[in-house]
Amino acid sequence: MLDLLDDRFRLTARPPADGEEGYLKAWDQQRRRSVELKLLVDPPVPPGDPAREEVFAEAARSALGIAAPHLTDVHDCGQGAVDGRSARYLVLAPLLDDTVAASSGNEPPELATVLEWGVQLCGALERVHRAGQVHADLRPDNVFLKKGAVTLGAPSIARLAARPVPGGAVHYSSPEVAAGHGEVGPHSDLYSLGCLLYFLVTGGPPFRGSRDEVLELLRASEPDPSWLHAPLVPQRLDRLLRELLEKDPGRRPADAAEVARRLREIADGPLPRTAHPPVPSVSSTPPSSRSARSSPDAGVATAMFEPGPAGVDTAVPSLATVLICLSVAGATGGVLTALTSVGLPAAAGLTALALTLWFGFAHLALGLRRQQAGALQSLGCGMLLAFAGVSAVAVARLPWSWWAALPVGLLIAAATSFLALIAYAGLVGAPHGIFHSYGYPWALSQYAGAGAAVIALVTGAAVRYGQDAPWDRAVMSGLGAWLGAGLALALVLIGYRGRRPGL
């Protein structure tokens, strides 16, 4: 026999498990019509605390009558018993069976569709927040689809009843809602919206695992950047997701209207069809590494030796390549002319050499980031040649017998080669990490980083040998040129911020 809820609603299926929320179709015996119920069922308990029951009744009544496009209407609310258990429920108009969760499980939606859905959900949240309410249930299985448009389901009963977040909802809850303390408000819904958009872009929530694991990650860890799971995600969308997923509510966007505006701006720009390339994307990282990998500074620390995102287009726009090339050539020629006494032909030749060095630096860095065998072999050969050359010079110049000078020369060569590798990683990798964290395309950031490194090396060498300056002054001059060149290239290439790779 089918269960009867509150002596009124004949349920057409078994109610959800204890402590979980779920939707059920039911027959309203009083009004003799089919309705949709959202239920939260608790274990069998003695008669409830009247104060707690009144909390739910008052909060649920405040959710009645909030009507807006893309928002489910709540017609009634109540609490009663079903199958010997206490239950709280909301009465809704019949809902569609197709949800965002089911639709996305078959094939990831196109990015343009994700952005359109995000704007529609922002409109629903604006209406909820204007009414002074917090929805607190923006999950993929609580967003319904009809003819390409989305409708946000009923609000969280657990939130209305001041109950703990159900296990299935914790993956899409803000830290303050999941923890059950702290100020809960509209910014909490923006975090949940960020989780939902993250799911639509990457195929999974920001944090994955059991309820207890997710609660700990919400408290202490940062989520992976979206491009780690969806390498073609536009930089501006990745940045918006990071802001929505800030643990501090004050650092999230101001309101749903601002999020909608930014989503429209992203949709107006160039977009790939999907954020997933036709090759397998990068796998998830363990929780212990998430905080370091998601920080913008992590790109600096691991810029040279961590493989880049799989499927990233390594093409650099032709105009951008010309701009970087002209910047490197102009800076190199200007430094050689101003700081050395070489003639114009020699300056032109050294400038051509600098451009060759820039091109080699950039392509070596790209190859290393993508772990290409040829790049690894080139790096190994370069270090071997540097080691052999430094060893020969050191042994020849040390005022000792060869058998004493040889081990010392080898140690000097090893240290020099290691320091050269560190300098290369820092001079080329650090600008790349900074450029990329500020929204410049991945490969373009590598070209710009290599350009800044070459300008720094030319400036340092010109000060040391052209001005006969001490080494410390030459190093400081090179570092100053490195910073100035990075800033100048950032300004020259500012039009490429937020573009997907290859555009």
CATH label of the domain that carries residue 39: 3.30.200.20
Q: Residues, the chain, total?
A: 503
Are 107 and 13 within one domain? no
**C-alpha span between 126 and 412 (Å, rounded):** 66
Is 393 inside a domain boundary?
yes
Consecutive H or E run containing 86: strand 85-92
What does the DSSP assignment read for 395-454? Answer: HHHSSS-HHHHHHHHHHHHHHHHHHHHHHHIIIIIHHHHHHHHTT--HHHHHHHHHHHHH
Please tell me the total count of domains within the chain.
3
Task: Quick: pLDDT tens for 1-16.
Answer: 467 888 888 888 888 8
| Angle formed at CA 165 by CA 294 and CA 199, multiple of 5 degrees | 40
Are 331 and 447 within one domain? yes
The pLDDT, as a whole number, for residue 252 is: 94
Are 151 and 28 within one domain? no
Are 331 and 445 within one domain? yes
Is 449 inside a domain boundary?
yes
Q: Is 420 exposed, middle or buried (0-12, 13-18, 19+ CB in 10 A)?
A: middle
Q: How confident is the model at residue 246 (pLDDT cuts 50, 70, 90)?
A: very high
Identify the top-confidence range among 187-201, 225-239, 326-340, 452-466: 187-201
Structure tokens belonging to residue 293: 């990998």
Are 107 and 83 within one domain? no
User: Which residue among 251, 279, 307 closes a domain?
Assistant: 279
Q: In sequence order, what are the residues at sequence separation of 6 or more whose Cβ sits closer than 8 angstroms to the Cβ of residue 273?
A: 110, 111, 112
Task: Quick: pLDDT tens for 54-81.
Answer: 778 888 888 887 888 899 888 888 888 8
What is the residue range of 138's domain? 100-279
**C-alpha span between 5 and 15 (Å, rounded):** 10
User: Which residue among 232, 263, 279 closes a domain?
Assistant: 279
Instruction: Give yes or no for residue 264 having a pLDDT over 70.
Output: yes
User: Which residue among 58, 92, 126 closes a domain?
Assistant: 92
What residue type is assigned to position 354 of the chain? Answer: A
Better pLDDT: 26 or 289 = 26
Is 288 inside a domain boundary?
no
What residue type is assigned to position 407 of the chain? Answer: P
Structure tokens belonging to residue 126: 């604006």
Taking residues 136-159, what's their average pLDDT?
Answer: 89
Is 300 inside a domain boundary?
no
